[in-house]
Structure 1
Amino acid sequence: MNAPVSPQASDAPNTVYLKDYQPPSYRIEKTQLRVDIGEQSTRVSSSLSLERQGEACDRLFLHGEALELVSVAINDRTLSSEQYHVDEKGLTLLNPPESFTLQTEVNIYPKQNTSLEGLYKSRSSYCTQCEAEGFRKITYFLDRPDVMSDFTTTIIADRATCPVLLSNGNRIDSGTLEGGRHFATWHDPFKKPAYLFALVAGDLASIQDEFITQSGRRVALEIFVEPKDLDKCDHAMSSLKHSMAWDEKVYGREYDLDIFMIVAVDDFNMGAMENKGLNIFNTSCVLAKPETTTDAGFQRVEGVVAHEYFHNWSGNRVTCRDWFQLSLKEGFTVYRDACFSADMGSSTVKRVEDVSLLRAYQFAEDAGPMAHPIRPASFIEISNFYTVTIYEKGAEVVRMLANLLGPVEFRKATDLYFERHDGQAVTTEDFVQAMADVSGWDLTQFKRWYDQAGTPRVKVTDHYHEDSRQYSLTFSQSTPATPECSDKQPFHIPIAVGLLGGAGELALKLEGEELTDLPEDNTHKVLELTEAEQTFVFTDVPEHPVPSLLRGFSAPVKLSFAYSRQDLAELMQRDSDGFNRWEASQNLALAVLDDAIVAYQQGKLDSFTVDPMLIESYRQLLADAELDQAMVALMLTLPSQDYIAEQYEVVDVEAIYTARRLLAKTIACELADSLRAVLESYDNTQAYRADADSIAARSLKNTALGYLLLEPSQSDTDYALAQFSNANNMTDEVSALSALLYSESPQVAEHAERALAEFYTKWQDEALVVNQWLSLQARDPRPNALLRVKALLEHPAYDGTNPNKIRAVIGAFCMANPINFHTGLLDDPSAGYRFLADQVIALDAKNPQIAARLITPLTRWRRYSEVRGQAMRSQLARIQAAPGLSGDSYEIVTKSL
């Protein structure tokens, strides 16, 4: 009827504003889909039962992109061309009835769909990705979160090539058809928005299990993968069952369908998707076995499986009204999966990992041109707002609410939220209101966390009055201007504190508090900072203490206090708060790194001496057998280059890299005996286990090995080579390989290249392992990395249409190899910036989401020297001028310029 129209618009894309939100003029009570999958094209027939809500309207617009319209009818009567209009954005019905059934047929072309949105083909399987707006590439629909419908889906495909046919809900029918084809019909009894729709058709194998809910219902569990990956599903299944039990215990949430399915696909823009009853995952978030998966990979699978399962309530049963409310489901669910992971392993280690991610990436986002509130006021492409602000900062805001209310009241509040809004599409106000209704608190000021962007800066000063035995802490808060607002109002900031005295932690009693009001163990207190400046006075303090501030990272702020290095060393050794012990180690290292950076900038690095206090503090950590080995490994790990860069107004890439490398080598030399003792105490022949203690022991051992290979003895090199050759798990194998590869020792270089080749030969048929091999090389800090990266793009292992491969090479080089990205080639310092722009322009025409996410390093051009900044800016301008630029990339580039 009509030829397909390109989804690229020639005009600049429109901005969508939260203030313009209007409820939909129609609701879709029932959706019936018939998806007939063919080798060359797929026919999608839909029947939508629509009913007007509100006043009559003379037109109804339904979203649809890259669709070839075959027919359109209302109540079985084909429409004339005067009754509708179709363009590249959708279908407009003219003078629609109050209630009616809309029937459409369209052709779509999954094999040609490189955007990986809507229905597309990944290897041998057809699958969907509909969040945020992919469903409009499948059929015409009111594709918005507040339109929730009852879905019945019939899938038809060739039985030989697609023996497995899956969709949301419960399967209600199946059978064979003529010509070697077959069908399956699925019905989802829970109304859902189109973004939660899922369909999979392919040649897949599966493992099965079951879960018995707290009410005694049996739920069938099934994980589908390519047959070759069937031996890598057990950990995901175990993680799923643990998640289901945890959600029942902690939140009282029971699963609601007869079956829960997970499908792993190799081509996927995101990590995973919480489609109702049929979660579609990136293979990297499902497949795991010791020989091919690192400890971090095992933990990622556990965390992502939990995250997507938890969405069944925080995202599916209760969803978001519009995409401005995205953090309503994502921030809440990230908080839930973080608590789950903390319960499954070490809570302190998990907290350190989460905060490290937040401070390295979200703080940078808050300080850049793409800064936005947790609930943005506007967007051009919603896919650009699947960000660390929405997810990780959103989770921190929920964490603050949970800590303010306490576990009992928070559980009551979430119960109220789920019960009050079950089956609804709601807003962040609805979530906070449930907290306020249960607690009785006025959370008006707290809601500024949702509407103001930026990272608050909290400055703290103290004073001890020896005569009155009073100790005061004065807090002042300010937030830098961000694109949406320069006049920031004070936030409601909970700050957990403790006070360390010579004999241990001191009892805390605020001025005016009665003894009867104090808890039995009152060495920890949460102060609530609500003003621009506030002073808190503690009484009966016997000595000038060392304050332990922002314990557990109780708020996502930048806190500054004039700690002496001796104070930090004491906190490292004696603070009962595990997070703040790690924080003290980071701050002490930052102080020493700052000395080295200044020395480098003054040309005095050759005579620079590392502060022995840091080395001695590390020595004591290694000697303390009582400490959690994972925490020791984290405390020994220097701050990342990204986090160091966040400490400076102008980023000096060479100074940061050189100072960090010098300090690492000094640690390796000064603590060589202690580090070798760690290696000697570890039994490399023990069977692999993925429990917290085993992961901790491996992390410390491999941290020690990484240090020793910086300035290795022959025995250190031999140890690394033996570990690489004999490892019974991927964690040890890849750790040894990276230690060899990143060593600057000439005696190691030849071994490293040989090991790199052996690794590829051994694992070339394992896609996820090959991704690690690619990423290791892209992150290699040795000079001229760009030449090696360009060679990788020509390697048979690289696939420029696969998001995992793109992230492993281009993403790893541009985002995780700052020294080489920013210094380029010896004869061309800007080569890294031009390389990234070339890749973005080429990818934008195929997969706009992935292209847009790669732009991030260039957006921070204002943080660098004039020469570097202008070179980065010119590449942003090149991207902006590219013909047919997608809305995804256009939004990021224009905001950055």
Structure 2
Amino acid sequence: MREGTAALIRREDYVAPAYWIRTVDLTFDLDPAKTLVTSKMKVERNAAVPHGPLRLHGEELNLLRVLIDGESVSFRQEGHELIIESAPDADFSLEIRNTCAPEKNTSLSGLYTSGGGFFTQCEAEGFRRITYFLDRPDVMAVYTVTLRADKAKYPVLLSNGNLLETADLDNGRHLAKWHDPFPKPSYLFALVAADLVSREQRIRTRAGKDHLLQVYVRRGDLEKTEHAMNSLVASIVWDEARFGLPLDLERFMVVGVSDFNMGAMENKGLNIFNTSALLASPATATDADFSRIESIVAHEYFHNWTGNRVTCRDWFQLSLKEGLTVFRDQEFSMDMAATPSARAVCRIQDVRQLRAVQFPEDSGAMAHPVRPDSYVEINNFYTPTVYEKGSEVVRMYQTLVGRKGFEAGIKLYFERHDGQAVTCDDFAAAIADANPGSALSTRLEAFKRWYAQSGTPRVQARGSYDAAAQTFTLTLKQHNPATAGQPGKLPQVIPVTMGLLSREGQVLPLQLQGEAAPVGTERVLVLDEAEQTFVFTGVATEPVPSLLRGFSAPVVLDDGLSDAELLVLLKHDADAFNRWEASQRLALNRILQAVRTGEALVLDTDYLEAMRAVLRDPQLDAAFKELALTLPGEGYVAEQLDVVDPQEIHAAVEAAYQQLAAALADDWAAAYEAHQVKAGYEPSPVQSGQRALANLALSMLVLHATRTGDTVWPGRAYQRFKDATNMTERLGALAALVNAHAELAEPALQRFHALFKHEALVVDKWFALQARASEDGGKTFARVKQLLQHPDFTLKNPNRARSLLASLCMFNPAAFHRSDAAGYVLWAEQVLLLDGINPQLAGRVARAMDRWTVLAEPYRSAAREAIARVAAKPELSNDVREIVERALASDGSAA
């Protein structure tokens, strides 16, 4: 449906299908222009629901024939459905033959071509672009797949499961036959036919079984797959050790493709990856890329159980697999980091990402619960709320029942539901039932409000100390602001992990009123009412509360702490997350003060000395220092304001950086010199932290130098850029020059492109770096407009389109939100162009306008005009129409 108002799909309207498909035998005669698909299915009627016609989904297919038990059958086609009224009551076989056109499929959903090969992406509803089927996650079938293709062009033929047969055919063609013994929904189907090479490794799991691991990529990329393979092996080992979940197929395959809408896809036994999430070498990938690849490889492998063996009943339950699996990959990353400090850095980075992308979603036009109530286009709900906030919900389960209790709950979950399509309620019940009497099981229904209520809860904390009674009274209040469709909210279950420190930084024992003795120095308070009071006894000195340690719940905390109290936490808190949080709060308070008053920002001596102390502290890891000394992002600052002027925020943040650079210049220089990595490259937490701090120091030194006219540090940055032996240092030096708009930035950019023009993923970095550069008088925006015409830029490749458009529109507010509305004009033009090529990608870029209603004038009116211009186009995809119509409707809807 591409015109008019699309149908609204509601969770409450779910009904099981009238028929089940138990087995599928698929045969593909692969041809780019016309691929022939023959599907033979064993179908049975679902006696649990009223009898109705068999309705199969299909889009952009050419239907050739339909047979039931070998005989022709009457049918009709309505919209995107093939309807058979006379399907038998008894079990029957259904054969469908159709063709599709992979080379015309620019949406990259279903079967498409890329780089001379065939690839698939079937989540969420892509299988219906391959053949007619009950394309819904609760229909799980056993698949046998035969692929036939030209052997010279497509020597590698892959599908899910285990390889049964290969053979040569006439006319230079060949076949491969695959069988997946595990029932799966159609969204987990995959095939690949291409000229690829593979890295192979055989492993033996704890269960004593041998498995073949394969990573397939195009020729020339094989040397960039070692890290991905190592990450896969580590993931398999970890999942079996931590949760007792073994690899269950003879082989596990990973394939890289450059044209892909997502990061990767967990198809059973045949994961398909965007090359950006798979390929890495020190010369072409940064430390962040190595870390991201490890995380995504783990994520997709972990889906083998949390998503594949147990899947979603319907798409409203998407967080059942995604939130749970993000949590699992975050736990994996922390375990791989090993040291407490490195684990804390992982947690800080995850929370920073949550706040950057999910908190704004919670307060914008597309705000929705972790389990949405309705949608028009399911592609629009692969969101930070479902993934990142969903992960935080799973983390709260673990906080409430403990690590061992959570593992017991996971074990019960699989005992009950292996091979089934289930709901978030089933998962909640398993965790609670495995932990009777826990803080979760006694509050289960209230806890599940996290699935039902959108928005980010606000928690206010206020403490009072009675010196005579030696008591500290902590009062917690919660409130969840109105969001679209949810004007009022009920209290949620919020675990608050906390501790108390003396003003000198000593840890204080925790004894609640009514307890016979102190219970440790850290504990979890459960806030499940609108307001609750907790009284601690035996508190010998006025304490500083350390609340929400480890970010124990996805909330906004107002603890009312003074600068002096925040400095106590920054210097002494045993919780590294709250030490970092204190550094951010100290900076944020000063930036917000300047924005709200309109006065020029001037950083005070106390703050500057606190940051100097962080930079000099020999006990702090370099990675932590880099995070603590990086200021809050402009988007996060905007989240704290009711009315947002992006240019005022940018001016305040830039002023803070310039003053931090100038006041700590000697310390930055010392830090830069002290954190040069002399050893051979490895993406370890220690080396990565050293490079991160060195890069931050260099950026500060170049920024200060360009403002003072000094040429030494820009020159040193250019030399580092030329001499670097790894991409992290090279890109860090280039970013320092580009963000400072130094004179040497232009020759460095030209040299970088010349060096890496044949490395697509590195060219993506080149585009993104320029689009994300700190805006200075319109220079960045003007450069983006030029880059849209660059010979290497295309809207057809998602990575390339995102590198420029998403970088500008979603991650560079000062360059995008212009008083002359030029950024909005560009956004509208590009969204409409993208919608005709790849609606899913267009929908992602359209999300840049989610929070237009909080903008100050003249931005607000200009933004609305641009959104209305897009919405006025008669033929829009469901992906874009849902987003822009909700954006327009959000004007006052949450007031």
The question of a shared fold, defined as TM-score above 0.5 by the shorter chain, is answered with yes
Q: Residue in 2 aligned with 1:3?
A: none
Equivalent residue number for residue 579 of structure 1 = 577
Partner residue of 1:164 out of 140, 150, 156 = 156
CA distance in 1, matches of 2:655, 2:376: 44
Equivalent position to 2:24, from 31, 35, 60: 31
Match of 2:829 among 838, 841, 847: 838
Q: State the Cα deviation string for residues 678-724 of structure 1 (Å, max 9, x = none).
A: 12223354321111111111111111111111112433223211210
Distance 1:816 1:409 in 2: 39
Alpha-carbon contact 2:216-2:256 (below 8 Å) kept: yes
Q: Is the 2:55–2:84 contact (alpha carbons within 8 Å) kept by the matching residues of 1?
A: yes
Alignment partners' CA distance in 1, 2:824 and 2:696: 32
Would the aligned equivalents of 2:676 and 2:694 in 1 still touch at CA under 8 Å? no
Deviations 1:111-167 (A, max 9, x none): 000000000011121100000000000000000000000000001110011000000
- Residues in 1 aligned to 2:482 and 2:657: alpha-carbon distance in whole angstroms: 36
Find the partner of 1:209 among 185, 201, 206: 201
Q: Which moved more, 1:841-850 or 1:141-150?
A: 841-850
Distance 1:663 1:317 in 2: 50
2 CA distance for matches of 1:688 and 1:868? 46
Letter matched to residue 323 of structure 1: W
Output the CA distance in 1 between the equivalents of 2:712 and 2:614: 24
Residue identity in the other structure for 1:727: A
- Partners in 1 of 2:564 and 2:278 — Cα distance? 46
Q: Distance in 2 between matches of 1:846 and 1:174?
A: 36
Deviation at 1:893, TM superposition (A): 1.1
| Paired amino acid for 1:453 | S
Aligned to 1:488: 489
1:353 matched to 2:349: yes
1:56-75 matched pairs, under 5 angstroms: 57-75=51-69
Comparing 133-142 with 709-718, greater Cα deviation is found at 709-718
In structure 2, what residue type is equivalent to 1:485?
Q
Give, as a single letter, the amino acid of the residue that structure 1 aligns with 2:466. Answer: H
Please name the residue that 1:512 is paired with: 514
- Is contact 1:15-1:379 (8 Å) kept? yes
Determine if contact 2:677/2:690 at 8 Å carries over to the other structure.
Answer: no
Provide Cα deviations, 1:94-114, integer angstroms capped at 9, x if missing partner. 121022111111110000000
Whether 1:719 and 2:730 are equivalent positions in the alignment is no
Change in CA separation of 1:503 and 1:896 when aligned onto 2, cut-off 3 Å: closer
Structure 1 CA distance, aligned partners of 2:494 and 2:677? 46
Aligned-pair CA distance for 1:454: 0.8
What SS does structure 2 have at the residue aligned with 1:157? Answer: strand
Which whole-Å deviations, capped at 9, do the CAs of 1:709-763 have from their partners, x for residues lacking one?
111243322321121011110000000001011114xxx32x1100000000000
Change (3 A) 1:88 1:160: farther
SS at match of 1:288: coil
In 1, Cα distance between the equivalents of 2:622 and 2:282? 20
Query: Contact conserved, 2:32 with 2:102, CA < 8 A, in 1?
Result: no
* Equivalent residue, structure 1, for 2:757: 764
Count of aligned pairs: 870
8 Å contact kept, 2:505–2:572: no
Match of 1:533 in 2: 531
**1:801 paired residue number:** 796
Deviation at 1:870, TM superposition (A): 1.5
**Match of residue 853, structure 1, among 835, 844, 855:** 844
The DSSP-based 3-state class of the residue aligned with 2:344 is helix
Shift of 1:631: 0.3
Q: Residue 12 of structure 2 is aligned with which of 16, 19, 28?
A: 19
* Mapped partners of 2:295, 2:472: distance in 1: 42
After TM superposition, list the pairs within 5 Å mapping 1:230-379 onto structure 2: 230-345=222-337, 346-379=342-375
Aligned with residue 884 of structure 1, among 864, 872, 875: 875
Match of 1:656 among 641, 649, 652: 649
Give distance in 2, aligned partners of 1:547 and 1:278.
49
Letter in 1 for 2:330: A
Determine whether 1:626 maps to 2:626: no
**5 Å matches for 1:115-134?**
115-134=107-126
Q: Does 1:437 align with 2:451?
A: no
Distance 2:346 2:505 in 1: 29
CA distance in 2, matches of 1:40, 1:469: 80
Question: Which residue number corresponds to residue 217 of structure 2?
Answer: 225
Per the alignment, residue 679 of structure 1 pairs with 672
Q: Distance in 2 between matches of 1:141 and 1:464?
A: 66
Partner of 1:187: 179
Of 671, 675, 688, the match for 2:681: 688
Aligned-pair Cα RMSD in Å? 1.1
Please give the residue correspondences for 1:82-93 in structure 2 after superposition, counting only pairs within 5 Å: 83-93=74-84
CA distance in 1, matches of 2:469, 2:81: 74
8 Å contact 1:837–1:875 — kept in the other structure?
yes
Aligned: 1:568 with 2:559: no
- Equivalent of residue 818 in structure 1, options 813, 816, 829: 813
Give the 3-state SS of the residue equivalent to 2:535 in structure 1: strand
Question: Is the CA contact (8 Å cut-off) linking 1:168 and 1:199 kept in structure 2?
Answer: yes
Q: Is the 8 A contact 1:453 1:484 kept in 2?
A: no
The code of the aligned residue for 1:594 comes to L
- Cα deviation, 1:761-820, whole Å, max 9, x if unaligned, reads 000000000000010111122324333212212212112100000100111011111111
Residues 360 and 646, structure 1, Cα contact 8 Å, conserved in 2: no
> Amino acid of the residue matched to residue 875 of structure 1?
A
Q: Tell me, in whole angstroms, the C-alpha distance in 2 between the residues paired with 1:886 and 1:434.
A: 39
- 1:817 aligned partner, one-letter code: N
- Does the CA contact (< 8 Å) of 1:58 and 1:95 recur in 2? no
Equivalent residue, structure 1, for 2:628: 635
User: Is 880-889 or 189-198 further displaced after alignment?
Assistant: 880-889
TM value normalised by structure 1: 0.96
Superposition deviation, residue 355 in structure 1: 0.7
Whether the 8 Å CA contact 2:677–2:691 is kept in 1: the answer is no
CA distance in 1, matches of 2:19, 2:351: 43
Q: Distance in 2 between matches of 1:479 and 1:393?
A: 15
Q: Does 1:470 align with 2:471?
A: yes
Counterpart in 2 of 1:4?
A: none
> Which one-letter code corresponds to 1:861 in the other structure?
W
Say which is worse superposed, 64-73 or 608-617, in terms of deviation.
608-617
Taking the aligned partners of 2:686 and 2:379, their CA distance within structure 1 comes to: 38
C-alpha change, 1:559 and 1:503, in structure 2 (3 Å) is closer
Cα displacement (A) at 1:484: 2.6
1:136 equivalent in structure 2: 128
Q: SS at the partner of 2:469? A: coil
What are the superposed Cα offsets for residues 346-403 of structure 1, whole Å, 9 maximum, x if unpaired?
Answer: 2111111111111121111111111111011111111000000000000000000001
For 1:873, the equivalent position in structure 2 comes to 864
Name the CA distance, whole Å, in 1 between partners of 2:479 and 2:301.
38
- What is the SS of the residue equivalent to 2:446? coil
CA distance in 2, matches of 1:722, 1:547: 47
* CA-to-aligned-CA distance 1:414-462 (integer Å, 9 cap, x gap): 0000111000000001000011111112311101101111110111111
- Secondary structure, counterpart of 1:183 in structure 2: strand
Structure 1 SS opposite 2:584 = helix
Extract unaligned runs of 5+ from structure 2: 889-895
Three-state SS of the structure 1 residue aligned to 2:550 is helix
Which residue does 2:891 correspond to in 1?
Answer: none
C-alpha spacing 1:154/1:503, structure 2 compared with 1 (3 Å): closer
Deviates more, 1:325-334 or 1:646-655: 646-655
Residue 543 of structure 1: aligned partner = 541
Q: With structure 2 as the length reference, what TM-score do the two structures score?
A: 0.96
SS of 1:107's equivalent? strand
SS at match of 1:439: coil
Residue 866 (structure 1) shift: 3.5
List gaps (5 residues or longer) in structure 1.
Answer: 1-7
